[in-house]
């Protein structure tokens, strides 16, 4: 009985909406855009956040990363440009961190040198990282074949190297790399291992490498050598040709020191100690400290604000859509005053009339909602494809969008339906 009524009422609703196709479509558009914008905005926000979180997580949540930075120029004090610049992190710094910070798990000093690598006739621009055997502990690097740099390599300053999977692709193609010699600068290094960053999904690798190749002279990959070997063979001085002042010499001991603590709670105090130490020994502002955990927290805050703002914009557009519906339904009700009077004379109760108009609103919002969901799912994939931005559609956001739109439909439909039901039957019948 109830189902039969529901069916008839919905059929009737569809019929009257169909009679005003254009009007109904335009009204539903408000809901379509509202719902799709809720879904799309949340998906884009969520995607950006997930991407950022993953990148930050790759830096290591227990790490404090201290990097050498080119200090601001001191031209003004001397009047002319220095030709030998000496700056950056030193081995002493690493030693001081080790002594001053309790609860340190490891400290990894790194030297990073851009180089040209050659295997037989294949060449590639790469980055040489002079590092210590415990480097894998502070990164997501995993040795796939062979081994990583060892303590003995360090002691004897051996000419060995570990290459990452990108280098394998670029230089070796089909050859088995281990045991082969690669030429870096003027010396040969024997490949003892192949390693790979763990968390990298193939997809992000691809975007990352396409980003990398788009930058002029960027590196194909990384080659790890013992720190002592790097120090010995590459020295600490870089020659740089610059257009305006000829040759500049730079002396940098270490490009990077990574401090890893045992306990997450120690991150902030450890960072403070690092800061104090650096302030004391580096008068020039030639370093930068990055704490991935802090970044992650900040990112989460930003994300929350982002979600709130995007969500509100989308919700407002849904409300605007709802007002559009209410507007149309009020017009429909006054247009159909006489019909309402007739139905009342023929035995319709107030609730029958409410049900009739509410079902029309419901049909409008439900179709609008479903089309909106389809569109809302389509937009993120378009953004992903053309905008090269990751997106994540959460099931909950679909639920939200549909819930809000149905609520909007019912709330904004109630008043017109209520008005229709409460019109005086006699006056409605007399209405022209």
Partner 1 sequence: MIQQYHDNLNFDTDKPILEMRDLCKSYFIGEGELKVLKDINLSITPGEYVAIMGPSGSGKSTLLNMIGCLDRPTTGEYLLGGAGVSTLDDDDLSSIRGARIGFIFQSFNLISQLNIIENIQVPMFYQGIPEYESAEKAIELAEMVGLGHRLKHRPTELSGGQQQRVAIARSLANDPLIILADEPTGNLDSSSGSEILDILHGLHDQGKTLIAVTHDEGIAKESERVIRLFDGMIDKEEYNQKRNER
* H or E element that contains 242: strand 237-242
Q: Find the angle CA(407)-CA(411)-CA(412) to the nearest 5 degrees.
A: 115
Nearer to partner 1, 397 or 428 (CB): 428
Nearer to partner 1, 342 or 389 (CB): 342
Collect all residues with Cβ–Cβ distance below 8 Å to 17 and sequence separation of at least 6.
24, 360, 363, 364
Q: Considering only residues 71-90, where is the footprint of partner 1 by CB under 8 A? A: none
Question: Could you give the CA distance from residue 146 to residue 135 in angstroms, rounded to a whole number?
Answer: 16
Q: Region of 90 please: left (phi>0), alpha (psi -120 to 50) or beta.
A: beta
Contact string (CB under 8 A) for partner 1, positions 279-318, x = contact: ----------------------------------------
Collect all residues with Cβ–Cβ distance below 8 Å to 282 and sequence separation of at least 6.
none
3-state helix, strand, coil in the chain (%, to 5): 60, 20, 20
Nearer to partner 1, 345 or 407 (CB): 345
Cβ contact 75:81 at 8 Å: yes
Question: Could you give the CA distance from residue 31 to residue 28 in angstroms, rounded to a whole number?
Answer: 5
Q: Which residues pair with 114 in a beta bridge?
A: 127
| 342 lies in the site for partner 1, by CB under 8 A | yes
DSSP 245: T
Q: Which among 148-156, 185-193, 227-235, 341-349 is the span making contact with partner 1, rule CB under 8 A? A: 341-349
Which of 75, 198, 279, 351 is in the footprint of partner 1 by CB under 8 A?
351
Which of 91, 339, 371, 411 is in the footprint of partner 1 by CB under 8 A?
339
Nearer to partner 1, 289 or 348 (CB): 348
Which of 136, 343, 408, 420 is in the footprint of partner 1 by CB under 8 A?
343
Nearer to partner 1, 264 or 426 (CB): 426
Provide the minimum distance between the beta carbon of 25 and partner 1 in the complex, in angstroms, as a whole number: 18
State in Å, rounded, how far the first CA of the chain is from the last one: 34
């090269």: which residue's tokens?
A: 388
Phi, psi of 389 (to 5 degrees): -120, 135
Q: Considering only residues 10-69, where is the footprint of partner 1 by CB under 8 A? A: 15-16, 19
Contact string (CB under 8 A) for partner 1, positions 352-371, x = contact: x-------------------
| 217 lies in the site for partner 1, by CB under 8 A | no
Which of 120, 190, 304, 349 is in the footprint of partner 1 by CB under 8 A?
349
Q: Which residues bind partner 1 (CB under 8 A)?
A: 1, 4-5, 8, 15-16, 19, 338-339, 341-352, 425-426, 429
């Amino acid at each position: 009985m109830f189902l039969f009524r529901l069916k008839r009422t919905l059929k009737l609703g569809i019929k009257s909406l169909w009679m005003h196709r254009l009007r109904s479509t335009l009204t539903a558009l408000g809901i379509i855009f509202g719902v799709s914008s809720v879904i799309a905005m949340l998906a884009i926000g969520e995607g950006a956040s997930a991407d950022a979180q993953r990148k930050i997580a790759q830096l290591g949540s227990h790490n404090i990363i201290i990097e050498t930075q080119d200090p601001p120029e001191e031209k003004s004090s001397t009047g002319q440009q220095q030709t030998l610049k000496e700056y950056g992190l030193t081995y002493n710094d690493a030693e001081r961190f080790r002594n001053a910070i309790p609860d340190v798990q490891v400290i990894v000093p790194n030297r990073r040198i851009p180089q040209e690598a050659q295997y037989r006739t294949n060449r590639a621009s790469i980055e040489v990282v002079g590092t210590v055997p415990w480097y894998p502990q502070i990164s997501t690097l995993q040795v796939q074949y062979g081994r990583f740099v060892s303590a003995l390599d360090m002691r004897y300053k051996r000419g060995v190297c570990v290459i990452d999977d990108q280098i394998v692709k670029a230089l070796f193609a089909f050859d088995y790399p281990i045991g082969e010699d690669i030429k870096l600068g003027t010396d040969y290094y024997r490949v003892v291992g192949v390693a790979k960053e763990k968390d990298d999904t193939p997809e992000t690798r691809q975007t990352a490498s396409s980003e990398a190749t788009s930058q002029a002279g960027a590196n194909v990959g990384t080659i790890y050598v013992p720190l002592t070997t790097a120090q010995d063979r590459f020295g600490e001085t870089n020659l740089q040709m610059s257009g305006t002042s000829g040759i500049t010499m730079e002396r940098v001991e270490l490009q990077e020191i990574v401090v890893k603590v045992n306990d997450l709670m120690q991150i902030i105090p450890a960072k403070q100690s690092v800061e104090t130490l650096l302030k004391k020994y580096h008068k020039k502002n030639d370093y930068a400290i990055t704490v991935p955990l802090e970044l992650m927290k900040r990112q989460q805050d930003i994300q929350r604000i982002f979600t709130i703002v995007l969500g509100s914009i989308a919700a407002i557009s849904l409300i605007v859509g709802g007002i559009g519906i209410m507007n149309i339904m009020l017009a429909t009700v006054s247009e159909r005053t006489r019909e309402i009077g007739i139905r009342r004379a023929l035995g319709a109760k107030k609730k029958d009339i409410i049900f009739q108009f509410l079902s029309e609103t419901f049909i409008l919002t439900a179709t609008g909602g479903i089309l909106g969901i389809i569109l809302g799912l389509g937009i993120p994939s378009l953004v992903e494809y053309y905008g090269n931005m990751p997106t994540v559609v959460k099931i909950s956001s679909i639920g939200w969008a549909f819930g809000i739109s149905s609520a909007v439909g019912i709330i904004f439909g109630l008043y017109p339906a209520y008005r229709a039901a409460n019109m005086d039957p006699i006056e409605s019948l007399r209405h022209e």
